[in-house]
Chains A and B, each alone.
Chain A
Amino acid sequence: MNFDIAFGQYCEGNSILHRLDPRAKIISALIFIVDIFIAKSVWAFLLLTVFSLMTAAASRIKARVILKGLRPIIFIMVFTGIVNIFWFKGERLLVDFWFIHIYLEGIINALLIMLRVILLLMGTSVILTYTTTPLSLTDGLEQLLSPLSKIKVPVHEFSLMMTIALRFIPTLVEETTKIMNAQKARGADFSEGSLVKRAKALVPILVPLFASAIRRADELAVAMECRCYRGGVGKTKMNVLKASLSDAACVLVFILLGVAVVLINKFASGFRIGI
């Protein structure tokens, strides 16, 4: 099996994006998502595309890595695209055959929808996951959400859970590969037979995997207690986050991008996305 978890994986680097405060990046990413969803005009999409490409270039991440990250969504993208082509009713009819009516506008609309998905994934992964270590990501999230702890939301516990989960994803992937290899060495077959048979073939993987996850959790709990972990109360940080001018500038840029998108939507002519 191929565990392709390129999406959501940190890429080592030292670009401007890598150095920004995680809180600024989280906020910027959220604003960027809003920017994408309020975009209606093709020209707004053009602006967003250019902007995304510039961001990607600024991150200094290899194009190949970014493209690889898009691979998991190709199917969904093509599927929604095709469905949209058939459903959309426009003015310029291209194909008129039995019950199939394809309009030029439908094709453009489908392309824009696909573009939107690409921008969404590419933008957020370049701003956040590729350029921010999971640890500083959760750290930033914890700080952003910390006001909620005033109303008894266990923010620290959530962020700890997330940190641990992120920390153990690669470990579990590695473990799964190992266990699968061990069972394959005993003649297990995961790719042949009926659905029921294949589901049954997973038992020899899942049982040891759960057993080891529980064992690891247990060990971790003991290790944390040995180091006197007592929850988040009164805990100080080794790396205190400090927002700088460039962080504020980053957020501002994404807000301005949104403003530009709104203005283009309002004043530019041309095609508008249907959904």
Chain B
Amino acid sequence: MGAKVITITSGKGGVGKTTTTANLGVALARLGKKTVVIDADIGLRNLDVVMGLENRIVYDLVDVVEGRCRLRQAMIKHKQFPDLYLIPAAQTRDKTSVSPADMIHITDKLRSDFDFIIIDSPAGIERGFRNAVAPADEVLIVTNPEVSAVRDADRIVGLLEAEHKNPGKLILNRLKPAMVKKGEMLSADDVVDILALEIIGIVPEDDHVIPASNSGIPVTLNENSHAGVAFRNIARRLTGEDVALMDLETNSGFFQRLAKFFGGR
């Protein structure tokens, strides 16, 4: 029945939800999927700048909810990827201007015309989180290999249960393989073991990410970026393709890893 609605959430703030949403949107559009990304972080609009679309906003999500415009009027079409649209958040309002029922209503109107609807959730576990998660067919929980982020991710798992949602899938962002190797950072295995969730992607810490958001060109368009490749792999997995997890998802080169793998410890 048309689009799959995927919500990107985390509990803890600043772990990479907006970065993930922007990159998955672009990567899916590049795979030829008709995609809308929705910024549900009302009052702290950000997805627009990360995607380089901030100058084109006329109407926003709250305008749609309050009937000041039609849904189509609030959808900004990406110039480079005509299959990609953004619905921006309102900047001058708060989370209570939108209800979970509004989000379900809006996504239901979009489902028949799109393949993917990706929702960028605000941090926290309050109203904004519930708005973002209400219409989700699938929830992706972004976390970092760090105690507070993992703990908050576990809270989200519990809340999804309470909302009778499918268990989320995990995106581990900002992993530093060199630190993992030294035993100074939780590994992907550790985090999967602790949270008991399926993992759908490992995104390394990558110096290309900040320049990408500086210029409003998502990092997945940078062919030299490991994080970019990782986001592309997640997008492919979302389309049902079977992409092995470790390929290119760490900082170390493939041959380096091979050498380690065969050359013993």
A and B associate? no
